[in-house]
Amino acid sequence: MNNLPASFFPRALLLLSIIFVYASCAAAKSAEATEYLMGTRVFIRVAPCGRDAQADIQEIIQEIRRFDAAASAHRENSFPARLARDGEANFTNEEEKSILLPMLREAFAFARASGGAFDPFIGKLSKLWGFSSLAMRAEPPRADEIAQALAASGHQKLLRLDEDGMAVARHTELDLGAIAKGEMLDRAAARLYAWGYRRALLNFGGDVYVIGDRIDAEGEPWRIAVQHPRKAQAYLGVARIQDGAMATSADDERFFIHEGKRWHHILNPFTGLPASEAVSASVIGPRAALADALATALFVLGADRGLALLAQYPGYHALFVFMSNDILQERMSPGFADAAGWKAAE
């Protein structure tokens, strides 16, 4: 025994535990949970991986609650609520800062990169349109109301964003609705990876992150169907993804019909009206936060300008659906079909 190197046993044990964990991760069992959080349906499914999967899922759900409490504009005294009230808000503790600062930095960098199509300061407008509240409007706001809310939007209203917090122009309100689900998906996935999970599916209100292979089929990528924007229970096609995200922005998520016209929740920050260049935009890529923000920006920009923006982000690919002469048309970015292993529905 004394002749063995001191590190022999720990190393052998480590090897054994790796084999054990790998074997248990390959099992076709799964643990899952569904909750309504962040104003949306949150679904998590993992292949147990030598740990208490239910406890791990519950820990992620608790993290989503804290994330929502910090990031939601609708919660009393949240950072966005304080910012709307005072024009300035400082982070009150390390947790609030660690949740918000990276997301805010990414949101404003992307707002500039998108030429303002993605606007984290769309808050006043989206409140006016009412898509984020439970009581949906029956008709569009008046033009003067839109003009007033529009004057308070635009990423240029940012006066300060630093380690302490941020300051904005008067009346400007933050709305992180177009990036927060993606950001939270990335956080949840990072936890699962760190805990050693090798197969998982996270679906937060239609934005998805997958880890590894499907739980029920070794060697098979996850299949993610893209909802048909005009037919319930129908889909446009199926993407095959391993370790990556897909986010979709679509005009059928939250909308009302007034005098035969559809008014939906993705707003054009230049007009203050629902964006009309697309019907849906799906983006795949390695990070969900960027896929989420890109999907919203691409929806606003439409296929031509959207594809030009997308080309600046290697590894991200998109599928657009738009209306032309009353017919739904599709357009993919050059790498989409390959990267997504895309199979169109018959």
> Binding to Mg ion by residue 292, rule CB under 5 A?
yes
Q: What's the chain's length in residues?
A: 346
- Contact residue for ligand AMP among 175, 186, 213, 277 (CB under 6 A): 175
**What is the spatial distance between Cα 25 and Cα 192, in angstroms, rounded to a whole number?**
12
**What is the spatial distance between Cα 115 and Cα 270, in angstroms, rounded to a whole number?**
10
Select the residue whose beta carbon is closest to Mg ion and give its number.
296
- Contact residue for ligand AMP among 178, 201, 284, 340 (CB under 6 A): 178
Contacted by 183, from Mg ion, ligand AMP, none: CB < 5 to 8 Å by type: none
CB count, 10 Å around CB of 219? Answer: 7
- Contact residue for ligand AMP among 80, 177, 221, 244 (CB under 6 A): 177
Binding mask 290-309 for ligand AMP (x = CB under 6 A): --x--xx---x---------
- Contact residue for Mg ion among 165, 296, 297, 316 (CB under 5 A): 296
Contacted by 269, from ligand AMP, Mg ion, none: CB < 5 to 8 Å by type: ligand AMP
> Binding to Mg ion by residue 280, rule CB under 5 A?
no
Q: How far is the CB of 86 from Mg ion (least distance, A)?
A: 27
- Among positions 27-66, residues that touch Mg ion (CB under 5 A) are none
> Binding to ligand AMP by residue 267, rule CB under 6 A?
yes
**What is the spatial distance between Cα 199 and Cα 243, in angstroms, rounded to a whole number?**
9
DSSP assignment of 174-227, as one string? ---TTTHHHHHHHHHHHHHHHHT---EEEEETTEEEEESEETTEEEEEEEEEEE
Q: How far is the CB of 89 from ligand AMP (least distance, A)?
A: 19
Contacts of 31 (CB under 8 A, 6+ apart): 45, 46, 48, 53, 54, 57
Q: What are phi and psi of 271, to 5 degrees?
A: -110, -25
Size of the site for Mg ion (CB under 5 A): 4
- Contact residue for Mg ion among 38, 84, 178, 224 (CB under 5 A): 178
**What is the spatial distance between Cα 38 and Cα 184, in angstroms, rounded to a whole number?**
10
Q: How far is the CB of 238 from ligand AMP (least distance, A)?
A: 21
**What is the spatial distance between Cα 163 and Cα 90, in angstroms, rounded to a whole number?**
9
> Binding to ligand AMP by residue 58, rule CB under 6 A?
no
| CA 241 vs CA 115, 185, 273, 283: distances in Å | 30, 15, 34, 12
- Contact residue for Mg ion among 295, 300, 309, 318 (CB under 5 A): 295
**Strand order from edge to edge, sheet including 343-344:** 213-214, 217-227, 235-241, 343-344
Tokens standing for residue 198: 């090798």
Q: Which stretch binds Mg ion (CB under 5 A): 71-79, 89-97, 113-121, 172-180?
A: 172-180
Using CB under 6 A, list all residues that contact ligand AMP: 118-119, 122, 126, 131-132, 175, 177-178, 249, 253, 265-267, 269, 292, 295-296, 300
